[in-house]
Chain A
Amino acid sequence: MSEITSILATDCGSTTTKAILIEKRGDEYRLIVRGEAPTTVEAPFDDVTVGVINAVREVEELAGKRILDADGRIIRPLRADGSGVDVYLSTSSAGGGLQMTVAGVVKAMSAESAERAALGAGAIIIDVIAVDDGRKDYEKVKRIRELRPDMILMSGGTDGGTVKHLVEIAEMLVSADPKPRLGVGLALPVIYAGNKDAREGVKEILGDRVDLRIVDNLRPTLDRENLDPAREAIHELFLQHVMQQAPGYGKLSSWVSSGIMSTPNAVGKIIQTVAEERGINVLAVDIGGATTDVFSVFNKVYNRTVSANLGMSYSICNVLAEAGTANIARWAPFQVDETSLRNSLRNKMVRPTTIPQTMRDLRIEQSVAREALRLAFEHHKTLARSLKGVQTVRTIGEILDQKETGETLVDMMSLDMIVGSGGVLSHAPRRAEAAYMMLDAYQPEGVTMLAVDSIFMMPQLGVLSTVHPQAAAQVFDRDCLIKLGSVIAPVGRIKPGELACTVEMGGECHRVSFGELRLVPLGVGETARATVKPSGKMDVGAGRGKEINVEVEGGAVGVMIDCRGRPLVLPDEAGARIAKLREWHEALGLAVE
């Protein structure tokens, strides 16, 4: 293939289809323009390509370049007159994304591994069925029948282990006789990734009642997960089955240079690429209207979770239900009336496209976002964990520490970067607001870089990374990621007002008290060596009271020294809490209301 110089990529979201044009200018790939249009998967269009063409037309107008031919098809490859593109790629989460049910024998073991496999492949899990999940068989059958997933992933038993339970799960599936969500009359795809000895028994029961695919066991032994074969099978079936049934996707599939990828799967790819190339631990979040996705790579282990009912518009009342009014109101730097808060969030739910007009309304929305981010992160921590049920040799120290198998892999002290995306973070009127929300929701420890995705193009860059990693990495660095600045956050709790740490950087010495949040100006692209000396009971990564010398980086906000303590505890009394919140707003240069 000749050199690729022009790339078009679209992401068909549930409400908006976004198109980006990337071109090689000189030695590097850069984002040229971005266009968008409403997604057209639903009536009256029932054809995703209508929205794709509309978004690409906007790109054509903005870039002053022809990409579509007279029949509305993408011109490929790039022509001598400059029209067309070399590569066209797409991701999709429209029409409900990829909805899966997973089944396993033991809830905390094989079913959980199956859940991780499906989530990592970009699915939304609509139910997790396990032999020991506490429900009666008929309840599970009823549930499988009602849900109508796009596909089912079945797992369980280590290789050479239980056969009987797997055959029983297969019987349960036959009993429910589930139908796929899309494509009336088609057989439901079922991926079997369990004990290899049970394959024949499962095949005998399921027969041709479903579209059965058999792959390697995703948990061949208790201490090993092998999720890739199941993830590949999910991706393949997503392309062959789900994408072919969704309206207009058959046509879209014939346009793309490489298979359509589910949006979260693509975001996962770019996060993994970044973590791998830079050798860092990364946490990324995409907070949308309906769902919040969390991605992490800790010590090279990738995990993704989706909180299907935590979001800022359609699902905003679920944040209210899960967090409670008090937890949302605690972040507002003013008194909040509970009844009006509840009614206003309900009104946002029924009119999801409205935006805060007043500062007060914005602060309320950002308070909800903190809780949505926090809850989704809690969920992520419970699933991103080491394998349960593994026999390990433990040291005396670990036994005394009560360390167990199944601990979360999320270690905030070793985290290097947090990337936030989604409207409430990417489009916050001031970048400091995005940084502040992430500080409160995630409470990073030690030294961590905060960043936001400027216009949410991680999906397109994810799919691009599979065909042209260099272009994806360059655009990610130069046009996608907006660095907000490093955070220095000592862990521990001491008396308010006592010295928490001293930071020497740029020839200045910053003495920061416990309970204080301080912003030190350092611009985009600027770095500085910093010597951080925590007080006796505080820790910035080297141990209590131990000094570290690190390079910190500036950004759109600056270097943030967060000495509010970990865990962050807000004063109980409303007046004291509001006073503190006002102080922190001011420290970041933010108005209160």
Chain B
Amino acid sequence: MGTAYTPGLTVSPGTTIRKTRRLPLKGRVTVELGQRVTARTVVARTEIPGVMQTIKVAEMLGLDPGEAVAALKVGKGDSLEPGQVIAESRSFFGLFKSEVKSPFAGTVELISNTTGHVGVRMPSTPVEVTAYIDGTVAEIIPEEGVVVEAYGALVQGIFGVGGERSGTLVVPAQSPEAQLTEELVWDKHAGAVLVGGAGITLGALKKAAAVGAAGIVVGAIADTDLIDYLGHDIGVAITGQEDIPTTVILTEGFGTIRMAQRTFDLLKSLEGRQVSINGATQIRAGVIRPEVIAPLEARPEAAGPPSKGQVLEIGSSIRIIREPYFGALGTVTKLPPEPVEIESGATVRVLEAQLADDSSVRVPRANVEIIEG
């Protein structure tokens, strides 16, 4: 296919960002069209019905299911308080009384003649969805949520863990090749989003979590360090639900990989700003990549040159994303149309590129990504 290359990730100083904020179940939208919202504004609310608990009345009273139903003191739809008697039976000429009390509050939803069980639905749990980014309500999805729109900087990462968070962007790393080490993480970074360079040590990651940093954005991490931090292995690339104090976003991959200069420079320019981040990643159809969003107050008059789009052509800036040149940056010099046999023996479409050190290489088109801008 002509598009046999990996589209690059967005790294943009100014773009329109739209975020759909949806409830898991139908509910109520709490904002209006055109309303200004902040990341923490609640935009929709619902209640998730509680779990139904089964009270095994027949077994508890030692009765047949039919007898148990006859012994009930409550009916379908009745509200229950904790400790309320729901069934009562008398035995031995009425001398001994046995009763079943509800251990919790709820509503009787089910009475089964087959089992003699009573199902009590527990109270609902409120669920709220926030705007996640500072912006404007651009669309209302009736009973489900909204679309929030903002103009701002957007950096997509390649992989992340941890969910939505917001904080002030701080760049302790001096350069895109620097390692984020323990000494660079301070108590004052509580609530901050820290930017590193080519990697982060396990000590720095643990310290960031301990001081309560909201997030880390870094070029790469050793896979074993990430597993250590998470406390479990990652089998499939579907993340975002991890129970971790600090969200981690990788911009390049695993190992030690210099953060792309453009990404580093953009993040550096955003230092001190309030950003929204999300580590959620899903690398399947309907790809979700982790992101850093910094809404800007106003759309600038000149918003910089428009993106050239994701077209692979002679002169395109690329990064090689597979061995033996993993991480190398270059410029496309040739795009031979015919498939070519490569070292592995496969016959594939390739490109030729000049690397930063002036060497010339030939790589499969599938193994490069375009660097925008």
B229 within 8 A of A: no
A350-B281, A351-B253, A357-B343 are known; give 5 further A-B pairs, CB within 8 A.
A317-B234, A355-B348, A358-B343, A359-B343, A362-B346
**CB of B330, distance to nearest CB on chain A (Å):** 14
Given contacts A177-B52, A343-B223, A351-B253, contact A359 B345 (CB under 8 A): yes
Closest 4 CB pairs of A and B: A318-B235, A429-B345, A175-B52, A42-B286
**CB of A317, distance to nearest CB on chain B (Å):** 6
B61 within 8 A of A: no
Given contacts A167-B112, A362-B345, A429-B346, contact A347 B253 (CB under 8 A): yes
For A322, the chain B residues whose CB sits under 8 A away are 235
**CB of A591, distance to nearest CB on chain B (Å):** 8
A43–B250 CA distance with the chains assembled, in angstroms: 24
Return the chain B residue nearest A341 by Cβ.
B223
For A351, the chain B residues whose CB sits under 8 A away are 6, 158, 253, 321-322, 369
Q: Quick one: which of A172, A175, A184 contacts B26, CB cutoff 8 A?
A: A184
B233 within 8 A of A: yes
Return the chain A residue nearest B115 by Cβ.
A167
For B254, the chain A residues whose CB sits under 8 A away are 342-343, 346-347, 350
Binds A, one of B34-42, B208-216, B360-368: B360-368
Given contacts A321-B235, A358-B344, A359-B345, contact A137 B322 (CB under 8 A): no
For B52, the chain A residues whose CB sits under 8 A away are 141, 171, 174-177
A142–B86 CA distance with the chains assembled, in angstroms: 25
- In chain B between 274 and 329, which residues have their CB closer than 8 angstroms to a CB of chain A? 281, 283-286, 321-324, 326
B255 within 8 A of A: yes
- In chain A between 116 and 169, which residues have their CB closer than 8 angstroms to a CB of chain B? 137-138, 141-142, 145, 163-164, 167-168
A174–B121 CA distance with the chains assembled, in angstroms: 10
Q: How many Cβ-Cβ contacts under 8 Å join chain A to chain B? A: 179
For B224, the chain A residues whose CB sits under 8 A away are 339, 342
Given contacts A343-B254, A359-B343, contact A349 B237 (CB under 8 A): yes
Given contacts A204-B113, A205-B112, A290-B284, contact A350 B253 (CB under 8 A): yes
Q: Quick one: which of A176, A313, A344, A349 contacts B323, CB cutoff 8 A?
A: A344
**CB of A114, distance to nearest CB on chain B (Å):** 21
**CB of A518, distance to nearest CB on chain B (Å):** 22
Return the chain B residue nearest A361 by Cβ.
B323
A361–B53 CA distance with the chains assembled, in angstroms: 54
Task: Contact check, B222 vs A339: say whether CB atoms are below 8 A apart.
Answer: yes
Task: Contact check, B6 vs A353: say whether CB atoms are below 8 A apart.
Answer: yes
A14 within 8 A of B: yes
Which has the most chain A C-beta neighbours within 10 Å: B113, B236, B286? B236
B117 within 8 A of A: yes
For A392, the chain B residues whose CB sits under 8 A away are none
Task: Contact check, B286 vs A350: say whether CB atoms are below 8 A apart.
Answer: no
Task: Contact check, A352 vs B283: say whether CB atoms are below 8 A apart.
Answer: yes
A250 within 8 A of B: no
A315 within 8 A of B: yes
A251–B280 CA distance with the chains assembled, in angstroms: 32
Q: Please, what's the 1-or-0 string for A321-345, where 1 marks a CB less than 8 Å from any CB in chain B?
A: 1100000000000000001101110
B151 within 8 A of A: no
For A185, the chain B residues whose CB sits under 8 A away are 26
A297–B2 CA distance with the chains assembled, in angstroms: 40
**CB of B340, distance to nearest CB on chain A (Å):** 11
**CB of B275, distance to nearest CB on chain A (Å):** 22
A95 within 8 A of B: yes
A339–B53 CA distance with the chains assembled, in angstroms: 49
A429–B117 CA distance with the chains assembled, in angstroms: 63
A175–B363 CA distance with the chains assembled, in angstroms: 56
Return the chain A residue nearest B224 by Cβ.
A342
A318–B324 CA distance with the chains assembled, in angstroms: 24
Q: Quick one: which of A36, A41, A171, A353 contacts B119, CB cutoff 8 A?
A: A171
**CB of B162, distance to nearest CB on chain A (Å):** 16
* Subset of 13 A-B contacts with CB under 8 Å: A36-B1, A43-B286, A95-B285, A141-B51, A141-B52, A171-B115, A184-B26, A343-B254, A344-B326, A356-B344, A359-B345, A361-B344, A362-B346
A298 within 8 A of B: no
Chain A interface: which size bin?
35 or more
Which has the most chain B C-beta neighbours within 10 Å: A177, A314, A347, A359? A347
A318–B117 CA distance with the chains assembled, in angstroms: 42
A39 within 8 A of B: yes
For A318, the chain B residues whose CB sits under 8 A away are 235-236
- In chain B between 216 and 269, which residues have their CB closer than 8 angstroms to a CB of chain A? 222-224, 233-237, 250, 253-255
A391 within 8 A of B: no
Q: Quick one: which of B117, B223, B285, B345 contacts A41, CB cutoff 8 A?
A: B285
Q: Quick one: which of A95, A177, A339 contacts B49, CB cutoff 8 A?
A: A177
Q: Please, what's the 1-or-0 string for A421-442, where 1 marks a CB less than 8 Å from any CB in chain B?
A: 0000001011000000000000
**CB of B177, distance to nearest CB on chain A (Å):** 17
For A299, the chain B residues whose CB sits under 8 A away are none
**CB of B295, distance to nearest CB on chain A (Å):** 22
**CB of B31, distance to nearest CB on chain A (Å):** 20
B110 within 8 A of A: yes
Q: Quick one: which of B114, B283, B347 contacts A201, CB cutoff 8 A?
A: B114
A402 within 8 A of B: no
B144 within 8 A of A: yes
- In chain B between 131 and 146, which residues have their CB closer than 8 angstroms to a CB of chain A? 144
**CB of A241, distance to nearest CB on chain B (Å):** 19
**CB of B361, distance to nearest CB on chain A (Å):** 10
**CB of B60, distance to nearest CB on chain A (Å):** 15
Task: Contact check, B114 vs A164: say whether CB atoms are below 8 A apart.
Answer: yes
A167–B117 CA distance with the chains assembled, in angstroms: 10
**CB of B324, distance to nearest CB on chain A (Å):** 5
Task: Contact check, B366 vs A354: say whether CB atoms are below 8 A apart.
Answer: yes
For A37, the chain B residues whose CB sits under 8 A away are 1
**CB of A32, distance to nearest CB on chain B (Å):** 20
For B117, the chain A residues whose CB sits under 8 A away are 168, 171
Q: Quick one: which of B235, B255, B286, B367 contacts A357, CB cutoff 8 A?
A: B367
A5 within 8 A of B: no
A94 within 8 A of B: yes
Given contacts A42-B286, A171-B54, A359-B344, contact A350 B112 (CB under 8 A): no
B342 within 8 A of A: yes
A290–B4 CA distance with the chains assembled, in angstroms: 19
A357–B286 CA distance with the chains assembled, in angstroms: 27
For A533, the chain B residues whose CB sits under 8 A away are none
A429–B115 CA distance with the chains assembled, in angstroms: 62
B25 within 8 A of A: yes
